[in-house]
Amino acid sequence: MDHFLYHDGTLHAEQVALSDIAAAVGTPFYCYSTATLERHFRVFDEALGELAHTICFAVKANSNVAVIATLARLGAGADIVSEGELRRALAAGVPPQKIVFSGVGKTREEMAFALTTGIGQFNVESAEELEALSCVAVETGVSAPIALRVNPDVDAKTHAKIATGKSENKFGVPMARAAETYAMAAALPGIEVVGIDVHIGSQLTELAPFEAAFNRVADLTRSLRAAGHRIERLDLGGGLGIPYTRSNDAPPLPFDYGAMIERTVGDLDAHIVIEPGRLIAGNAGVLVSSVIYHKQGEGRSFLILDAAMNDLVRPAMYDAWHDIVPVIEPEPGIETLPVDIVGPVCETGDTFAKGREMPPLRPGELVAFRSAGAYGAVMASEYNTRPLIPEVIVNGNRFEVIRARPTYAEMIGRDRIPDWLAQEPAEPQPAT
């Protein structure tokens, strides 16, 4: 469920008409719903029932400080993959002890900053990273609490670019080498073993891959404890999918996911850490865009928008589907026609949908891309020197710009002309 509904013929975010926001900030823009963020967090929290647990929002899904702060006030921690995301989580008020540092390529500088900040856990991905973290911990005089990320070699049955739990993926330590790597960790100075981490991918629409992975984690937990390791936390990652269209089969409900966690690892008396991102933020956001032209091509009709692949790259990168709806509700029974919905960037890949059935839309009319709250604004770029678009958050009948659209002067002002180009050009020399 989300809080983007038609009222009096206009699509609203909670109690605010998206057309009113468009009039105030221009298009395109991202809009997030506070009520939806809060509801999704609470539903997920309740799904874990009586299990001791912490929900660490995956900041890579949506890194706006206002979004993170909204969740932090409900008790959320943060799953981060860079120093920048760590700084954002801290700025949003996430307690350091509720921050988990994931990712395969942490630098020594990032490790040192995280250690001095006092984060709750490093999810270590390799023996090489363990050795580096040990050195940095000794140098800083701070012990590093770690969970080793194990790769269970489970097919997540998701898009190849977001699957992370198969043996050929770059993530984690193979399950077969987990025991020796934990023994290595226990012997290293500055390292404190606290748990196990696993994450098999994103946008999973079945529980079976999770269950297979978590059963392997449960077996590993018992084996490591028997070997004398203190395994107090089980970080089970994120990855539960969301419905991107109202007509497809819905992914499993959080309640069913929580029940599956209970039956696989609930008897281990471990603190459960979950790292959802898309599940909380995905359907809590929309991208609003204006029609520039309705162009008739040779045998195809194109709806050209002012949003582009640099604003929302998921369709170009993953062939992802987003429901795209008019902001002004169409009249019942109005005829629809198939159109290719595209942006203005000079790439054929700047295509959001092909042959999508849409009602007639004129230049200046607004459309909304649903389910755009995760992996939307965070993956945006300034390709074609197009400014990053504003982000807006709604709370009831109020809205606030939480990231402004930069001016062209601000964008270009970040570039620097070197001294040798700033000087007067030399006189051309005559040919000899």
Residue 315 placed within a domain: yes
Q: pLDDT tier at 158 (50, 70, 90 boundaries)?
A: very low
Q: Which of 183-197, 204-218, 369-383 has the lowest mean pLDDT?
A: 204-218
Residues 245 and 291 in one domain: no
Reference 66, options 28, 25, 33, 40; nearest CA is: 33
- Average pLDDT estimate for 119-132: 95
Neighbouring residues of 386: CB distance < 8 A, sequence distance ≥ 6: 308, 310, 311, 345
Whether the per-residue pLDDT at 276 is higher than 60: the answer is: yes
Residues 206 and 350 in one domain: no
- The domain in which residue 399 lies consists of 4-14+21-27+283-413
Reference 36, options 371, 391, 425, 310; nearest CA is: 371
Residues 113 and 255 in one domain: yes
Whether the per-residue pLDDT at 428 is higher than 90: the answer is: no
Whether the per-residue pLDDT at 164 is higher than 50: the answer is: no
pLDDT, tens digit, 9 for 90 and up, residues 292-309 = 999 998 889 999 999 999
Residues 224 and 136 in one domain: yes
pLDDT, tens digit, 9 for 90 and up, residues 358-367 = 999 999 999 9
Residues 246 and 290 in one domain: no
Residue 364 placed within a domain: yes
Q: pLDDT tier at 206 (50, 70, 90 boundaries)?
A: confident
Neighbouring residues of 387: CB distance < 8 A, sequence distance ≥ 6: 405, 406, 407, 408, 411
Task: Please give the pLDDT value at position 379.
Answer: 97
For the chain, the average pLDDT equals 92
Q: Could you give the number of structural domains in the chain?
A: 2
pLDDT, tens digit, 9 for 90 and up, residues 75-108 = 999 999 999 999 999 999 999 999 999 999 999 9
Residues 184 and 300 in one domain: no
Residue 422 placed within a domain: no
Residue 359 placed within a domain: yes
Whether the per-residue pLDDT at 414 is higher than 50: the answer is: yes
Residues 135 and 175 in one domain: yes
Q: Mark which of 274, 296, 329 sits at the end of a domain.
A: 274
Active site residues: 346
- Average pLDDT estimate for 9-18: 98
Whether the per-residue pLDDT at 422 is higher than 90: the answer is: no
Residues 126 and 250 in one domain: yes
Task: Please give the pLDDT value at position 165.
Answer: 39
Residues 120 and 237 in one domain: yes
Residue 41 placed within a domain: no
Q: How far apart are CA 366 and CA 19, in angstroms?
A: 8
Q: How far apart are CA 203 and CA 317, in angstroms?
A: 15
Residue 395 placed within a domain: yes
Taking the alpha carbons at both ends of the chain, their separation in whole angstroms is 77
Preceding omega of 28 cis (within 30 degrees of 0): yes
Angle between helices 127-140 and 178-187 (to 10 degrees): 10
- Single pTM value for the model: 0.92
Tell me the percentage of the chain whose pLDDT exceeds 90.
82
Residues 401 and 354 in one domain: yes
Whether the per-residue pLDDT at 289 is higher than 90: the answer is: yes
Q: How far apart are CA 255 and CA 33, in angstroms?
A: 22
- Average pLDDT estimate for 334-348: 95
Residues 311 and 180 in one domain: no
Residue 59 placed within a domain: no
Task: Please give the pLDDT value at position 247.
Answer: 55
Residues 199 and 307 in one domain: no
Q: How far apart are CA 194 and CA 233, in angstroms?
A: 6
For the domain that residue 265 is a member of, what is the CATH number?
3.20.20.10
Residue 167 placed within a domain: yes
Which single residue is written with the structure tokens 């997030």? Answer: 32
Strands 144-151 and 4-7: unpaired
Task: Please give the pLDDT value at position 161.
Answer: 41
- Average pLDDT estimate for 24-30: 98
Task: Please give the pLDDT value at position 171.
Answer: 58
Q: Mark which of 253, 274, 295 sits at the end of a domain.
A: 274
